[in-house]
Amino acid sequence: MSDLYLIYKNMTRKPLRLFLTCFAIFIAFLIFGAVTTLKGALDSGIELSADNRLVVVNRINFTKSLPIAYYQKVSAIDGVRDVTHMNWFGGYYQEPSSQIVAMAVEPESYLRVYDEVVVEPAQREAWLQNRQGALVGEKLAQIYGWKVGDRIPVSSNIFSHKDGGHTWDFVVEGIFTGSNEQYDTRQMVFHYKYFMETQTFGGDWIGWLALTTDDPSLNEQVAKSIDETFANSQNETDTSTEKAFNKAFIEQIGNIGLIIFGVVFMAFFTILVVVGNTMALAIRERTGEIAVLKTLGFSSPRIFRMVLSESMLVALLGGLSGLAAAWFLIEGAKATMARFLPNLIMGQDIILQAIGFMLLLGLVTGLLPAIQALRLNIVTAFNRGV
């Protein structure tokens, strides 16, 4: 009689208890898979940030503009490789509720600074040549069914057009993807000069600067030089790494990491108590059987391995099914959530992390019952009358 067969019979001797235990673990890993993937989507902009990329904003507030002259001054600072500037457009398509991320940029320097933007050479050249052209992200194009060559009206909830109204006409000259699967392509960029020529606010100003340094080790030095250059001016600056800037922006809606940790911790703690109690009860019920096995020649280490293996299998059975359910849930939600969370991807790192937690759960909940079985004295067990 093999150990695997005995483990199987012990697991299934009470099907309802097995089902309820696995279901509890199933719920825990369903929650883990879903919320961890959600956190990954929210943090994708942070994780994909270039190590040598800095962001320069007005010290007073991110929404307050900077003079265009800062563009050339920052370019001349030692350690700066490339620099570009951007303006937030506050765009929407057809209806104010259909908001899109749209920015006016300096085209050539934008593509150098954000080298993760992948666009076909022919489309790139067409966009650079057409001042009225727009470069549209693949996921944004899919949402609205835009194609290269389409003329699209995009409105602004901030700016007004010189011709009246709040709508600009753009030509889709290119559709870009990202060098990484999680790169957010739910956005569009267009020419800064076209924007400044057609909007009514007047004046040359920019929203913020993004730059790359010659080496990440120079980040602190370059940031300090930039802020010192504009210290005591009418528009002082605040320079930080892109990763820190994106993290601060995300945390405006709350500490997502703490929320995720709280949800997962409470779920796992509850499951740990339930499964641990179940395994302890199961071993207690089998005291006499374990004594018989030892009498028949089963060694204590062998019984230890059998009990621990049973706990591991229960954890894996419930955990893998919960993780699979989370994957199907995420895949089903991708299309619906594409406009809000375009980077919902359950990556290999999440799967490996979940499997590690399953094994840890099985080990923690099964270790004490296994030790009890290991130390069980045959005479003592039979004297209990079991």
The 10s digit of each residue's pLDDT in 105-149 is 999 999 999 988 999 999 999 999 999 999 999 989 988 999 999
Confidence (pLDDT) at 260: 67
Which amino acid, one-letter code, is at 325? Answer: A
The H or E element that residue 139 is part of is helix 138-144
The pLDDT-based confidence of 386 (bands split at 50, 70, 90) is: very low
- In 3D space, the residue among 121, 124, 136, 122 whose CA is nearest the CA of residue 172 turns out to be 136
pLDDT tens, residue by residue, 280-292: 777 677 766 777 7
In contact, 12 and 304? CB cutoff 8 Å: no
What's the rounded Cα separation, in Å, for the pair 359 and 376?
A: 25
Q: Is the pLDDT of residue 335 over 70?
A: no
pLDDT higher than 50, residue 251: yes
CA distance 296 to 289: 11
pLDDT tier at 13, thresholds 50, 70, 90: confident
What average pLDDT score do residues 307-335 get? 85
pLDDT at 28 over 80: yes
Averaged confidence pLDDT in the chain: 83
For residue 339, pLDDT beyond 60: no
Q: Please tell me the pTM assigned to this model.
A: 0.62
Residue scoring higher pLDDT (328 or 263): 328
191: left (phi over 0), alpha (psi -120 to 50) or beta: beta
Higher pLDDT, 283 or 31: 31
Are 364 and 276 in contact, with CB atoms under 8 Å apart? yes
Angle between helices 287-295 and 256-285 (to 10 degrees): 60
The strand ranges marked E within 106-248 are: 117-118, 133-137, 151-156, 167-178, 187-191, 205-206, 208-213, 237-241
pLDDT digits (tens, 9 = 90+) for 167-216: 999 999 999 998 877 677 889 999 999 999 898 876 678 999 999 999 98
Q: For residue 176, what are the β-bridge partners?
A: 137
Which range is least confidently modeled, 27-31, 125-129, 288-292, 329-333? 288-292
